[in-house]
Amino acid sequence: MTELSQDQQRLLEQLKEVGSRSYHDQHPFHRRMNTGELSREAIRGWVANRFYYQTQIPIKDAALISNCPLREVRRAWLYRITEHDGVQGEEGGIAAWLRLGEACGVPREELLDDRHLLPGVRSAVDAYVHFVRTEPWPVGIASSLTELFAPDLMARRLEAFQTHYTWVPSWGFDYFQRRLTQARKDSDSALDLTLCYCSTPELRQAAVQALSFKCGVLWAILDAIDLKYGPSPL
């Protein structure tokens, strides 16, 4: 990254502040996951519902590309689709998540037919796809910047599964291991584009609001899962 202007530095600080305040690593469900307090049913429910989010990410990215008139940006963003969908001879993140489901005891067909998908999760994820499809493309890119905070979350998640959920075989953890490096690469690229193309006060403000919205989407996903699979109230 080149030296930042004052406006860019201020935007970067605002984006980081949103993450420190609102990222879903602070959600009670995630906290219980990381301390080994979730039941097998809750782990399986989380895996099944989070799968819908995984399937919609390349659709979101395709919508963003279709909104963008700049060839160099489209080229920079295109790999994200194959990163999730895979290419012939090389699986992507969706296939890796299907394997995680199998490792946790959720058959592929049950993930693929959405039989465990909660309405609240579907609504939150669909709202995110709609947001990216209808907002200016630099704002759509900014909404992906939850990736800035993902590597640390992924490292804690992997450690939690290896420590507390030993009933899940290690061959199911490929998605987590991939994202340790992929998320940092993705966030670096998205941050560079955001700082470059959110170049007016209006777009900078919209970028901060977009990241806040995306944090809310991830939080809403966990709210729905926690309501279904969390501890029963006393």
Question: In which band, very low, low, confident or very high, does the pLDDT at 234 lie, cut at 50, 70 and 90?
Answer: very low
Q: Identify whether 204 is part of a domain.
A: yes
Q: What is the pTM of this model?
A: 0.94
What integer is the mean pLDDT of 136-141?
98
The answer, yes or no, to whether residue 179 has pLDDT greater than 90, is no
Q: Identify whether 210 is part of a domain.
A: yes
Q: Identify whether 78 is part of a domain.
A: yes
Q: Identify whether 43 is part of a domain.
A: yes
**Domain limits for position 224:** 6-229
Tokens 């998205």 correspond to 190
Picking from 34-43, 129-138, 223-232, which range would have the lowest pLDDT averaged per residue? Answer: 223-232
Q: Identify whether 167 is part of a domain.
A: yes
pLDDT tens profile 114-127: 999 999 999 999 99
Q: Identify whether 13 is part of a domain.
A: yes
Q: Identify whether 1 is part of a domain.
A: no
Q: Identify whether 234 is part of a domain.
A: no
- What is the tally of structural domains in the chain? 1
CATH number, domain containing residue 95: 1.20.910.10
CB 177 within 8 A of CB 96: no
Amino acid at 91: E
pLDDT tens profile 15-38: 999 999 999 999 999 999 999 999
pLDDT tens profile 88-112: 777 899 999 999 999 999 999 999 9
